[in-house]
A and B are shown apart, each in its own frame.
Chain A
């Protein structure tokens, strides 16, 4: 009784094994036929720096003509942030000097300055430096008392063309690369329709997320920096670049101006650094067979 039964069971299992083997073979053949024809691969694209900084050993982040909201001292904060970034991410030695209120320098220049002023330069731990007459052609031009927007900033740009002034600053610090420019950090409010995801629950308690267009009052900040790179040996501008970044929040949300400033600068710093040092941009691509 046992014998025939065993025999039957063994035959059945053999058939099952055969069927499984066939299925596996078919699957393998199918997999081979539809074999993966693409492969994701991480890559790092090296980007060469825009500026040849090899003639410089040191960099002086001098100061910025800053304007916009009074909640943030954009000059101080920009100088501090760029210096700390350059210390860790550039081969240049960062000069620690007082942050120069460049807006005052520009005003001095526009008022004609004095011979006494022209001999004064920025010193480590010294009083804020003042401007020389230079040759920037900014004498006698009235500058806006406060900088609220781009238009107010424009007349201040002459300062960067004053090669005599920048050459003198360069001599003071043994010919470094000078980083300066303008920073406008303004508050901004806007209203309009925005698309938001709205969470809803049906009768059975199932969650659904639906895109909804809603009217919203929003407020936030706009950051418009212009970085100017000056050759401290000649006082001439080597390169300049301008950026614009914006961040908006729900009007009810109370975000401190300083944290918004850092959030916006965070986006720009890689671009700033890529002017001075080579950067690697990480990404993913698809290789094909």
Chain B
């Protein structure tokens, strides 16, 4: 009887896992979308908070890392921006838009690095 109950619970867990995963993706996406809408209104800190949350919910979400990198860049946190861009490219190496953002970022970063010489 006990074994049957455990088996049922285990089965339920296995069956509900994909749906939980899908929910997490959906939640992360809504955080990203909300972040975009507030960034468009100039509320960058709120946007960063949302995108950070999205990357916590779904650490494989390349677009969230890309947006987060842009937010950090806008705030002048260049080290964090570089790490976020690199993570976005690691997750989605063929994304030309992420790559373009990263190239533009590097131009600025190189300029500041040049000053360090």
Contact = CB atoms under 8 A, between A and B. Distances in A.
14 contacts: A41-B70, A44-B74, A45-B73, A45-B78, A46-B75, A46-B76, A241-B115, A287-B67, A288-B66, A288-B67, A288-B95, A288-B97, A289-B36, A289-B63
A281 interface: yes
B108 A43 contact: no
Interface string A269-289: 001001100000101111111
Interface string A39-69: 1010111111010000000000000000000
B44 to A, nearest CB: 9
A286 B76 contact: no
B70 A287 contact: yes
A283 B108 contact: yes
B115 A274 contact: yes
B46 interface: no
A287 B76 CA distance: 17
B37 to A, nearest CB: 9
Interface of A: 37-39, 41, 43-48, 50, 241, 271, 274-275, 281, 283-289
Contacts of A287: 36, 39, 66-67, 70
Contacts, number: 64
Main secondary structure of the interface of A (DSSP, over half): strand
Contacts of B115: 50, 241, 274-275
Interface residues of B, number: 29
A103 to B, nearest CB: 26
A26 B66 CA distance: 32
Contacts of A283: 104, 108
Contacts of A38: 97
Nearest to A270: B111
A43 B74 contact: yes
A47 B100 contact: no
Contacts of B100: 286
B108 A281 contact: yes
A285 B29 contact: no
Contacts of A271: 111
B16 interface: no
A285 B73 contact: yes
B84 interface: no
A50 B117 CA distance: 10
